[in-house]
Structure 1
C-alpha cells in the first residue's frame, strides 16, 4: 500500500507547486486590469481628471491613445465574468448591466505631462476578457440603444 501512495503524493505536491504560480500570474493580469481601467470614486470626470488619472496610472509614456475607466465596485466588474455577463465574440464577456465609465481620448502632446486628453462620460455595457473568474482585459464599452442617437 505504501508503494501506491508515492505517485499520488508526488502528483499532489507538484499540484501545490504549480497552482500558486498560475494564480499569481492571473492575479498580476487582474491587478494590471484594475490599474488601467478601474476607479471606484472618480473626482470630476472631466479633461483634467483624464490627464491626472492617465499620469497616475503610468499610461503616458508614450501617450495612450484611448483608455476607459470603469466606476463602481470591483465585485460588480468581477461578476461580468459570471452571473452579470454573457458570452460575446472571441471568448469575451459583455455585461448585462451598465456601468458608469469615463473614456479618455488623447488629443495631443507627447509623452508624460504633455499628454492631453478629452473626457467623455457615459453609462455603458462593458466587454472584457476573463481568466479564472477575473477580468484581465478591457475590450470596449457598448452604447445602450436608449442612449444611442439617430445615427446608430
Structure 2
C-alpha cells in the first residue's frame, strides 16, 4: 500500500489540489441555489392568504428587518430548474435571464405594517405568472421578476 501511494504522489497531489480549487465554486453555486429556494420556493403552500405570508416570511428569516416584497413560486422544483434549459425556458433580456414557457402559481407577499419587533404584517396576492430567473450552471439562483399570464 505504501509503495502504491509513493508512486502516486504527484498524481495524488494534483488531484487534491484540483479538488481544493474546484470545491469553493461548487459550494458557492449550491449556496446561491439554496438561497433562491429559501427565498422563493414553496412547493405546496397552505393557504396563500395574509396569514400564509406572515408565517412563511417569518419561517424563512425574511423579517429581520421586514422585507418589503417577496415572491414565492409554487409547484415542483424540477419544473423550475427546467427553465434553465430550452425545454421549459427561453432566453430573456439578451440572454441574461431565462423566462418560463408556462406560467407558475405564485404568491406575492407585500409588507403592510409592523416591524421586526412587533411582527411584520404582509398582504398576499396570488395568481399565475411567468417567472424570469437567472441561472448558473443549469441551476436557478435569482428571481428577477414575474409577468402576469394573459
TM-score by length of 1: 0.84
Residues 46-77 of structure 1, C-alpha deviations (whole Å, 9 max, x = no match): 00000000000000011000000001111111
Q: Which consecutive residues of structure 1, in runs of 5 or more, have no partner in the other structure?
A: 1-5, 147-152
Residues 25-51 of structure 1, C-alpha deviations (whole Å, 9 max, x = no match): 100010011011000110010000000
Relative to structure 1, the CA distance from residue 112 to residue 59 in structure 2 (aligned partners, 3 Å threshold; closer, same or farther) is: farther
Residues 63 and 111 in structure 1, CA contact (< 8 A), matched pair in contact too: yes
Structural mapping, 1:71-90, within 5 Å: 71-82=74-85, 83-89=87-93
Q: Which residue of 2 aligns with 1:25?
A: 28
Aligned length: 141
Residues 102-121 of structure 1, C-alpha deviations (whole Å, 9 max, x = no match): 00000111115521100001
Q: Which consecutive residues of structure 2, in runs of 5 or more, have no partner in the other structure?
A: 1-8
Q: CA deviation at 1:10?
A: 6.8
Relative to structure 1, the CA distance from residue 113 to residue 85 in structure 2 (aligned partners, 3 Å threshold; closer, same or farther) is: farther
Q: Which residue of 2 aligns with 1:94?
A: 99
